[in-house]
Structure 1
Amino acid sequence: MPLSIFGFQALWSPYLIGFIVLLTVLYFLLTTTWRKSFKVSEPLKRNEAVYFILAMILLYVLKGSPIDLMSHIMFTYHMVQMAFLLLLVPMFLIKGVPWWVWKVMIEAPVVRNIFKVFTQPIVAAFVFALMFSLYHMPGIFDVIKLNETYHVIFTFLLFAAAFFMNWPLVGNVPGQRKMKHLSKLGYIIANAVLITPACALIIFNPNPMYATYTDGETWLKAMELCVPSTTLAGLSLSGPELFNNMSPLSDQQLGGVLMKIIQEIIFGIVLFKVFFEWWRVEKADEKDINEKALRDFQAAKQQSNNFN
């Protein structure tokens, strides 16, 4: 059955398009025309603008395109959506917003203490793993999927946890605590390990866990999160099997596997970049040490010659 039966609004989320366009316009006004109102500012860098635009495009693709609709039909799409939304979008946002804008935001009176606590590496890693695991517990997951308010609140909290988890890796605000390169390597590995139990539970569970992907009535109720109720009322649907040839268990297992694979790829790329940066700094330090030693030796030799 074609997805077009759900209508243009469900497929392409025009309200989200408007929000993203408005957010992008405000971003460029803030970082160009309005930056003079900041005590400290710098011209917007090209790579910052690219990262922000990529974040906005990816956000729309994940939450505004048919991928979002499919994430309510197939668990596989849901997990792919979660992987990119939680691991890549926050990273692009952090790198896309100039440091002097972040500095004003994270040093605001109310935000300062929250930010200081939740960006501590140990806290950030455990909170994200806990939130991700709780979200995908069968009882909690189905409740969230059936209530729009709960869904909005929990998705926001999960995204905030992902933001805090990514900050120690790519945050670069002067005056803020920074992790050493070796610590970052350990932090990346720890994050990969902490999320593994939740993925393993999804992959190796012998039974489908989520009623919102298996029970027709529950699934139809959950679809109201992305499809107008008036549209659903005019359709005769029995369940997600109308749009999916996979069994619920296979769909669930594939979703868990893809989540883990995407996480490993993203973290692997970040791990390589951190390792390369660490190696480059170490080489630069080694060169500086050798040059200083050579200068000291030449100075001592010159002094010895003058004495003789």
Structure 2
Amino acid sequence: MNEPSPRRGAVAEDWAGDGRGTEPDRWYTTNLVGLPVGLLGATAFNTHPRPLSIAGVRETHRGLFRLLEGADNLAAASIVFRHFMEIVFGLTPPEPGTRALPRARHRSSYLKLLQGWGLDSNSAAGAVLKGWAESRFGLVPTFHKAPLGRFPSPAWITYIEEKGGSRFHNNCIHQQLDLLFEYCQWAIQNFGLPARGHVTLWRGINDFTEQRVIAGDRRDRTCVLRLNNVVSFSTSRERADEFGDWILEARVPVVKILFFPDLLPGVPLAGESEVLVIGGEYEVVARYA
């Protein structure tokens, strides 16, 4: 029989010995993007990013990406994408005067999820989005209503219950989010929006409860934070200032962007200067406004 690898042995020892295996900071999981989670969540990846693609999504939906190739601009591409999603996932509202199926009104959609996130990132919709990022990128969340520290805990139980709730899982919601991410990355590659390579973004916070200081000290301005596995930023420093006394400035690789303004004009978040980013460890400049 093969000897266990040192890493597996270390994990087993953690669980059997001092209990450090109950600390989510030490967890790692598989993912669907073909990179080690430890690398994907590290500042080194942010400095030298590689393209990210969720396995099998573009291959399964070749028709969508063939249609997108005919779009001359982002506005035209967004029409193609929304129409495709409406047809494939039955998201089109019923015609006036027609009888809709009883369950049609309850079909979950990526649009409702974005709307729920915009209202409260710690809502059930937020838990589903964090659960999707956990399963696709292998990054364990750090906060949902409360810090997700040692496991088990009431905070963890709440998160697990909400991320798997049937309210959002009756219409292939993870597959919808897969397509949103791949469409977003396609748009960035083809139109260079909001940037190519990296983009500077800002996040307003009142305290550091939702993010953990990994290295340095926020009073030194530059530090490394572990952000939640999905996190909101703003393209506007002034807009970020509305959300807290501390302003975090980060240089974000565009390969980690799930949603940005103008990606889908007219949908929730589009008018809020809000960018949804896959989290992990980021070097940030922290300023007290």
Structure-1-length-normalised TM-score: 0.24
Q: Look at both structures and tell me which one has the larger radius of gyration over its CA atoms.
A: 1
Higher strand share: 2
Structure number with higher helix proportion = 1
In the superposition, the TM-score normalised over structure 2's length comes to 0.25
